[in-house]
Amino acid sequence: MNTVNIEEADLNLLKIFEALYQEGGASRAAVRCGLTQSAVSAALGRLRMMYGDPLFVRTGRGLSPTLRANELMPLIGEALDKCRQSLAMASTQAASYAGRSVAIGLSDDFELAVGARLIDAVARLAPGLRLVFRQTYSSVVADMLMARAFDLGLTSGGLSSRALRRETFGEGTYACLVEAESLGDGQTALSVDDYLQRGHVLISSGGFVGMVDEMLAAKGLQRRVLASSTHFSAVPFLLPGSSAVATIPLHAARVLAAHTSLRLLPCPLDVPRYSIELGWRVDSLRDPAVKLVKAALGELLREMAWR
């Protein structure tokens, strides 16, 4: 690889690298950067020469980053974030947020509960600022924050790293969702026997064992799982027409019950509670856009009734 110093490098290429990495295709990167696809392809050729690596290889679904591109992205992303922060310091007016984006890592139960309200709040406070919701889980949220996959992470625990800052907004619990037609007249609760006799839809990042299974196993009991999914938003499409039950976080169950034919019932098991945490990197709040979104999200979380 040829030695390249910063005086010789075209730093605009780094913006195109970021767009290619995050969009996964030259055409989408072109739209994002306001360029033609041929200009992006030419820029990719220059990036490949500069770094002595293909950086992105074509697959059936677009462009996939190489190992070197994965190594470069945190460094390039951090450098570009610093530039954006320095430009944001020049103006605190809402107009300065036009074209900016803030990425939030969260599982879709939180997206269901606060997503629409946060979009509305940010649209009022900073017109032109785009929110990006990215899927994450408590087991990986800290690593993804440190890798700069997003700016803020909303999660049910998992933010114990000393390199991160966090704020806790309360404790969540679980509830059951069932199709209303599967309940008896006036039935407002499930007994443990009824709960275990029904089939279950498991929502789990792993897809095989959930919190309920661990609790039941400790008591020598077992439930019958009919299907599993990684998305809470799939529940309204998996339960209708059956007597199955899904046990999910209460904040997501409330939203789904309010907009579907599903009925929300208390969980008959003594399920454990979990903390509602918002995390961020130490340097993130130097960016006024991230600081604004954090404040708006924090206000929403404090208003919510978690129990």
Domain 12-86 has CATH 1.10.10.10: yes
- Phi, psi for 263 (deg, rounded to 5): -105, 135
In this prediction, residue 91 carries a pLDDT of 59
* Res 306: pLDDT: 67
Pairing between strand 56-59 and 62-65? antiparallel
pLDDT tens digits for range 256-305: 999 999 999 999 999 989 999 999 998 888 888 899 999 999 999 999 87
Largest CA distance in the chain: 77
What are 82-91's pLDDT values in tens digits?
Answer: 787 677 666 5
pLDDT of amino acid 299? 95
Residue 242 has pLDDT above 80, yes or no: yes
Please check the confidence at residue 149 and state whether its pLDDT lies above 70.
yes
Instruction: Give the per-residue pLDDT at 44.
Output: 95
Q: Which residues, in sequence order, are bridge partners of residue 246?
A: 177
In the chain, which residues fall in CATH 1.10.10.10? 12-86
CA 101 to chain centre: 14
Does domain 174-270 sit in CATH 3.40.50.300?
A: no
**pLDDT, position 90:** 67
Residue 8: the pLDDT is 77
Please report which residue ranges of 206-246 form alpha helices under DSSP H.
211-218, 235-238
* Burial (0-12, 13-18, 19+ Cβ within 10 Å), 2: exposed
Handedness of CA 203, 205, 208, 214 (dihedral sign): negative
Extended beta strands in 42-145, E state: 56-59, 62-65, 101-106, 130-135
What is 98-171+275-303's CATH topology? D-Maltodextrin-Binding Protein; domain 2 (3.40.190)
Domain with CATH 3.40.190.10 in the chain: 98-171+275-303, 174-270
Q: Percent of the chain at pLDDT above 90?
A: 68
Higher pLDDT, 60 or 24: 24
pLDDT-derived band at 234 (thresholds 50, 70, 90) equals: very high
